[in-house]
Amino acid sequence: MVTLTSQAQIVAEKRYFQKNDAGTPIEDADELFRRVANAVAVPERNYGKLDVEIKMVSNEFFQMMSALDFIPNSPTLMNAGTNQGTLSACFVLPLEDSMEGIMKAATDSAMVQKFGGGTGFALSKLRPKGDRIKTTHGISCGPIEVLKTLSRVSSMITQGGKRDGANMAVMDVHHPDILEFIDCKKVEGEIHNFNISVGVSDNFMKSVVSGTHFPLINPRTNAIVGELDARDVFNKIINGAWRNGEPGMVFLDTINKDNHVSEQFGDMIATNPCGEQPLLPNESCNLGSINLANFVETKPDSANWKTGVNWNRLGAVVRSSTRFLDNVIDANEYATHDIEIMTKSTRKIGLGIMGFADLLTQLRIGYHTKLGREVGGEIMGFIKDVADSESKTLSDERGVFPAWGKSDYASSETQFRNACRITVAPTGTISMLADTSSGVEPLFALAWRKTNILEGETLHYINKYFEKDAKKHEFYSEELMEHIYEGGSIQGRPDVPQWVKDVYVTSDEISSEAHVLMQSAFQKSCDSGISKTINFPNSATIEDVYAAYMIAWQSKCKGITVYRSGSRVKEVLVKVETPKSGDALDITTYDYLENLVDAPFLTKGESTQLDTCCGSPFIVEEGGCSSCKACGWSKCHVS
């Protein structure tokens, strides 16, 4: 029988359990996971499996979900076995430069979001504002007006009756309307259901470093229509990110190095709403996450951390979850025929992780340390190797993904069932279901409260590992816990042992550089992207944000999103005892929003030198100093 915490039970009842016409749940956790397991096992029949074998596969899927070792993305939990709705979370839809193309994108996004999917769009193909329209002798309204139209369509949709629509808009930095795009969310609340990111090339970033100009290109004619100073544009992006977290940035050249079907389908120029899944137009991807916290068996000293992980059981769950996600592609109900064709052509899956911060605390390793990054890189590399191996096994049983013959895999005769295998999603609500830390994020806090503003229920949380250690090592007190509930840190507490302070480091105590470098450590073994927000204190400067964006590019991240605490009136998650009116957490939108929290820099000294095409321009000390050899800029975060 599945055992959920009281908080997870509330989440399951509100989000995932099937309900009758009166809104009363008609299933429990066992029935939820059994429904999903049975539905996702059915496609085994397509590949010659007997009924008894299908039942065995269903039991295998049920066991790993009921143990909370693996949980698929929310649409699969909501819709599998119900004969309604998509099972995938991530979509990118084409947005062509015509009235028909724009209206089709609006219609298709409504169908996708109706049953729980998030949509991404590239505005880069739309002609600029004021450009001629030959058929009507008129002038173009421009991509920002199209974006506002798509936003209004999304506002009408409540996904599966459970959450609001979520979207991403990406514009190539070479588009003539790029400056208007960068500022389109300058006023809080405008285009509220879209995240925005600027798509940049390595050449643009080199222009930023060298202080040169770059061309603006009209996508209708492919002609150069002007130029801008790269540093001016980059600074405008940085100012916006400092102001309210918008826009983010995606590094298109790095993304397309993992685009193995570019010869047949072109470049990836957009991502899903949280940025972890770059996709081609009309592609979708179903995600699922392994709860790493469940695979720690012992607590060795940090030098021997590998002995504390049950690698055999982890490998078995990776294989089962890879098969699970491939089956979802066949079990899926697709919003449009075009999405079905494209998705089945590449058969992309997104296996990721959650519970990483909880794994580190059990291993007695600080998230902010070099060793913490080594652990992340090692575990993600192991998961990638096993998932790749299982995808090859599936290709032997079922055939390669149909677009394989024109992919760059064909030249090396590397046969995969899935064009990509690894994605690290934010896991907002499914990590609440599993009672574990979210995605690759550090601990948000050691004790906190969340309020669902739609239902008016407050969920109380305390980190179970911290509470256990506090009682075992005799520093637990009601006064300490109240201090933490109110947003206080343990770092200055004389009653807390130093090793605890070193291990239980929370997001608001980690430098932005350490956040970025952890993302980079995982990216090395991730053929898609990673959803992660780089957190800043309200006092952070524009130079701090500048450094984070540059380090993200130099360390080969595929994108970056930052947030400076207090820069928006409404924040998603705050460490306060009683949420203020308007600041409470709505768990119905949490899947597409990161932990937006205060993040002062650590004052511990580790240094990292990052190599780039410019030599090694950035030297980062986790204690707080960054310097750029290319432009002479330096910044110290420690007084």
Bond prior to 247 in cis (omega within 30° of 0): yes
Phi and psi at residue 217, to the nearest 5°: -125, 125
Name the DSSP class of 600: P
Q: Are strands 90-92 and 284-291 parallel, antiparallel or unpaired?
A: antiparallel
Catalytic residue among 276, 283, 513, 622: 276
Catalytic residue among 73, 193, 246, 274: 274
At 550, list the tokens: 């540059």
User: Nearest CA to 287 among 75, 114, 95?
Assistant: 75
Q: Is the distance from CB of 219 to CB of 126 less than 8 angstroms?
A: yes
At 359, list the tokens: 């794994």
d(CA 210, CA 204) in angstroms, rounded, equals: 10
Q: Transcribe 600-619 into DSSP letters.
A: PPP----EEEEEETTEEEEE
Phi-psi region of 488 (alpha: psi -120 to 50; beta: other; left: phi over 0): beta
DSSP-based three-state secondary structure for 206: helix
476 C-beta neighbours (distance < 10 Å), count: 15
d(CA 329, CA 284) in angstroms, rounded, equals: 9
User: Nearest CA to 349 among 287, 261, 440?
Assistant: 287
Computed over its alpha carbons, how large is the radius of gyration of the chain? 24
365 C-beta neighbours (distance < 10 Å), count: 21
Is 274 an active-site residue? yes
Name the DSSP class of 163: E
User: Nearest CA to 329 among 291, 285, 373?
Assistant: 285
140 C-beta neighbours (distance < 10 Å), count: 18
Beta bridge partners, 169, equal 121, 196
Catalytic residue among 193, 259, 272, 595: 272
Q: Are strands 457-462 and 447-452 parallel, antiparallel or unpaired?
A: antiparallel
Helix (H) or strand (E) holding 393: helix 370-398
In three-state form (DSSP H/G/I as H, E/B as E, the rest C), the secondary structure along 220-244 is: CCCEEEEEEEHHHHHHHHHHHHHHH
Residue linked to tokens 């911060």: 357
Q: Is the distance from CB of 558 to CB of 592 less than 8 angstroms?
A: no
Is 390 an active-site residue? no
Phi and psi at residue 433, to the nearest 5°: -65, -40
The letter for the amino acid at 240 is: G
DSSP-based three-state secondary structure for 133: strand
Burial label for 578, CB within 10 Å (0-12, 13-18, 19+), is exposed
Is 276 an active-site residue? yes
d(CA 128, CA 106) in angstroms, rounded, equals: 19
Burial label for 620, CB within 10 Å (0-12, 13-18, 19+), is buried
Catalytic positions, written as ranges: 272, 274, 276
